[in-house]
Amino acid sequence: MAVSKSRQIAFEVLRRVEAEGAYASDALHAELGASVKPADAALATELTMGVLRWRRLLDFLLERQLKKPVERLDLAVALALRMGAYQLRHLEKIPARAAVNESVELVKRARKASAASLVNAVLRRIADNSKSPAEEYLPPNTAPAERLGILHSHPTWMVERWLTRLGEARTVALLEADNRAPRLSCALHDSGERQEIVRALEQAGMRVEPGTLLKSAFAVSGGSPARTEAFRAGQISIQDEASQAIPLLLGVRSGDRVLDLCAAPGGKTPALMRAAATEGFVIAADRHAHRLRAMQAQFKRLRLGSAQLVELDATNALPFGGEFDRILVDAPCSGTGTLARHPEIRWRLGAGQLAEFHEEQARMLVAALAHLARGGRLLYSTCSIEPEENEDVIAEVLKAIPSVRSVPASEAARALEPLLAPKVESSTLFAADGYFRTFPSAHRTDGFFAALLEKI
């Protein structure tokens, strides 16, 4: 029996995520070339991301039939079972027969034919109960965090800390947002081209909606913007709206000396380059040379003059003799604000790692502030929603460096306010503490944190 192209791709991407530590979005991008039909690309993406988002619940349901942990199975068998169970429970348009039979065939193709009968039997039982609510199978004394963790497919430790900090209603809303496919948002680089670009995307069969935060943003569904001429010509980029907002918060002016300290993969650097213009200059730094090389290709697509690229470890003293008017520290982090976009993170992250991120982030911030000019501003940001990586880092560094202040909300919002979409109030993005925050369930974006600091 043949296996569809979409299932072959999803199986291989999931294998790479589990066996090689790959990120699903990167692995999918590598597999979904121009030769893959749009319908196959869409199903491969749905299967890959769906299995990763719902992995814990899928394993819980499978283990009722297996009587042993899914993770004790051979990886190929586990992946085929998860893919089959996901289709049976979540994709109503997929015939049960196709979900079961092609999962069996995937196991055979992976040279695990001895497990074919097991996969067939387990998935047929899953199919028989596919309409039954998963909650029916939970023991009656299941603790709240464990219950929500299973039903919404998140680690229990993560749910516990969110329940403590956010309460049940906001936690459930966050869990639900993490399990929805995120909006495919685009940044428009020239507002004068908006009508022409939107018309071209719609003629290509895509649906275009306005942005939820920014005037210059829009969301696309029903196709891939990366396959369009507008993308190839550098007129648009694919970027979450909260991520688009981050470099705008820094208020870069023409002629500014700008440092983008953790620049790769380069989504925020172009906005800094445009704002600094030819009168200023931008240094884009990163720890990994290959990621800096990839940024050069991005600048070429966008038809920008190249920033000065520097390979360095930002946790150490920086090798610059001068000072900068503006610095962006978009720090490496746990990524808990991006669990819808990068669902594999929830299975890789451990609670103990938050302290490790905090230490590294604080060192980066101190190193960067040493090169901030008096009166200059630095923006610290993460795509995390955890206090250890956000408020706690800022509090620690401000205590240690009295010559730096946190910019009040009214000032911090000033650069962004003219760029916000109609009816978006800056007060929904900035709290009284002056910090910028987006939340997946509230803003339909990734969860970001940003703090604007000034050298006094």
- Residue 80 CA to residue 100 CA, distance in Å, equals 9
| Distances, alpha carbon 391 to alpha carbons 237, 286, 380, 385, 416, in Å | 30, 24, 10, 10, 21
Q: Quick check: 389 and 349 in contact, CB under 8 A? A: no
Residue 134 CA: distances (Å) to CA of 69, 148, 165: 17, 11, 26
At position 150, the amino acid (one-letter code) is: I
Distance CA 348, CA 365 (A): 25
Chain centre to alpha carbon of residue 322: 34
The helix (run of H) or strand (run of E) holding residue 285 is: strand 281-286
Which two structure tokens, joined as six digits, stand for 359?
A: 């230490």
262 is catalytic: no
- The helix or strand, by DSSP H or E, that contains position 259, with its residue range, turns out to be strand 257-260
Residues 6 or more apart in contact with residue 76 via CB below 8 angstroms: 15, 106, 107, 110, 111, 112
Nearest C-alpha neighbor of 283 from the set 253, 262, 298, 303: 262
Which residues are tagged catalytic? Answer: 383
